[in-house]
Amino acid sequence: MKIELMVNGALRVVETHPMTRLLDLLRDDMNLKGCREGCGEGECGACAVIMDDCLVNACMIPSVQAAGSWILTVEGLGAPENPDTLQRAFVEEGAVHCGFCTPGMILAARALLQRNANPSREEVRVALSGTLCRCTGYNRIYAAVDRAVKNGYNPSGDRSCEDSPTGRPNFSDAEKNLFFSPGTLDEALRILGDHPDLLLLAGGTDTGPDVKNGNLNISEAMDIFGLKELRGIERRGSEIRIGGCVTDAELGESAVVAEYLPALREAALLSAGPAVRNRATIGGNLCTASGAADLPVALLALAGKVRLQSRKGQRVLPVEAFIKDYRKTDLRRGEILREIAVPISAGTQKFYKRGSRAALTLSRASLALFADVESGVVREFRAAAGSMSPIPTRLPKLEAALTGQALTPALIDRAVETITDELNPRKSAEYRKALGGNLVRRFLEAL
């Protein structure tokens, strides 16, 4: 496969396998060693680069998805003899320790300052939260970002250049019937109709680690991440429509989601660090069908539905009917999850998540709750739990116990007893049952 991409302001034309990681393409083919491999699973940020103005982990992006992109690595900021203002600030504040994580940290800071020229300390902490400093020097790193801001550092995502890369890869004869990069959804559906067993590549935040750990061997695939028909968030009548390839970052930044679906927004923001959120998709989170997934839990409590499309037509299913078992969905051969529809409902909603640490953690327990209370009576109540069973599930007993009842302290006590009885975790049952009861009590008492 031959692709074109802009790297540090220069047009590069390379030949590589479609599934070669961008990390390896940069390090091995272009000798850009500032991009480091730490975990290889998107958790440490050592391989972070800026791709099309977004911070991403290069270990999780196959080369086929880099075609036509604009990439900035740490080498593109400045040379050792002439560092840019941000690099100089890291040195002056003593924020460079062993140096292994420093390129990812600098690029995470650069990505933040391109969007926000004067961030607060908390905004800096959040922006750098997905890049791990193994030498525990975070305060000096935060101070370095502050110093760069005080020194007038105001980068832009300038793409002015005489050359522009071609966005479509040129597959070799051996690859043409194995790998695909369609430009439209119609083209993708035609290809999938002829090759119904293709792996669909979206953000790659699950497939990347699976390949790295030897759990997945990709011999044929189709990239759908950039299809415009699978993007976008909008209100249509009484529903919020979300494209299947909308990212967690887009969910977290959407004013529409913040207004109508705050529980989903909270789930997206708690899902991972910024570089992972810039790639992880809502459709991927549903199709992975993991018991620890965050977004399906919120969508269950919000009565979300999925719209599936093939070249034969469309199907619409509730989320609870779509996720059938661990790693199994009702997605049929030749179908793509086009969008998710969530009804606009008056009421209060909340997403809770608990893990082994305070943030950027896999769920050990999650709970999403929705309640419509009028004149002291619970008119409608929906609840869903994650990491309690092989797949995220609704809690029908809890819903039945609350719906139509007057919201009183006695009812809250009964709700706690009900969820404690209904939850059946596979591990740490006592802890998870107690946690579920405490969270339900907190939610209902707030109402």
What is the average per-residue pLDDT within 14-21? Answer: 97
By the 8 A CB rule, do 206 and 292 touch?
no
pLDDT over 80 (residue 157): no
Average pLDDT over residues 381-387: 97
Mean pLDDT of 116-133: 94
Q: How far apart are CA 222 and CA 150, in angstroms?
A: 46
pLDDT recorded at residue 322: 98
- Give the per-residue pLDDT at 162: 61
Q: Quick one: angle between helices 429-446 and 409-422, nearest 10?
A: 150
The pLDDT of 253-271, averaged and rounded, is 97
How far is residue 158's CA from residue 44's CA, in Å, rounded to a whole number? Answer: 27
148 pLDDT more than 70: yes
pLDDT at residue 92, rounded to an integer: 95
Mean pLDDT calculated for residue range 310-325: 97
Q: What's residue 203's pLDDT?
A: 96
**152 near 85, Cβ under 8 Å?**
yes
Per DSSP (E only), the strands in 319-358 are 323-325, 328-329, 336-343, 348-355
Which tens digit of pLDDT belongs to each residue from 161-193? Answer: 667 898 899 999 999 999 999 999 999 999 999
User: What distance in Å separates the CA atoms of residue 153 and residue 255, rounded to the nearest whole number?
Assistant: 28
Q: What confidence score (pLDDT) does residue 160 get?
A: 62
Tokens for 113? 């300052």
In contact, 28 and 246? CB cutoff 8 Å? no
Q: In sequence order, what DSSP letters do the residues of 97-161 get, joined into one string?
A: SSSSSHHHHHHHHHHHHHH-SS--HHHHHHHTTTS--TT--HHHHHHHHHHHHHTT---------
Which of 34-38, 78-82, 298-302, 439-443 shows the lowest per-residue confidence on average (mean pLDDT)? 78-82
Q: Give the mean pLDDT of 67-76.
A: 96
**Average pLDDT value for residue range 218-239:** 97
- pLDDT of 279 strictly over 80: yes
Q: Is pLDDT larger for residue 417 or for residue 158? A: 417
The per-residue pLDDT for 187 is 98
Span 327-338, mean pLDDT? 96
Q: What is the pLDDT of residue 161?
A: 62
In single-letter form, the type of residue at position 81 comes to: E
Q: What is the mean pLDDT of residues 279-293?
A: 95
Query: What is the structure's pLDDT at 79?
Result: 87
Residue 208 is predicted with a pLDDT of 87
Q: What percent of the chain has pLDDT over 70?
A: 98
Mean confidence (pLDDT) of the chain: 94
- Which of 153-167, 251-265, 284-298 shows the lowest mean pLDDT across its residues? 153-167
What integer pLDDT is reported at residue 158 of this predicted model? 62
Give the helix/strand (H/E) hosting 387.
Answer: none
- Give the pLDDT score at 68: 96
Tokens of 19: 């599934």
Mean pLDDT of the region 406-424: 97
Least confident residue range of 11-15, 200-204, 232-236, 423-427? 423-427
Judge whether residue 80 has pLDDT over 90.
Answer: no
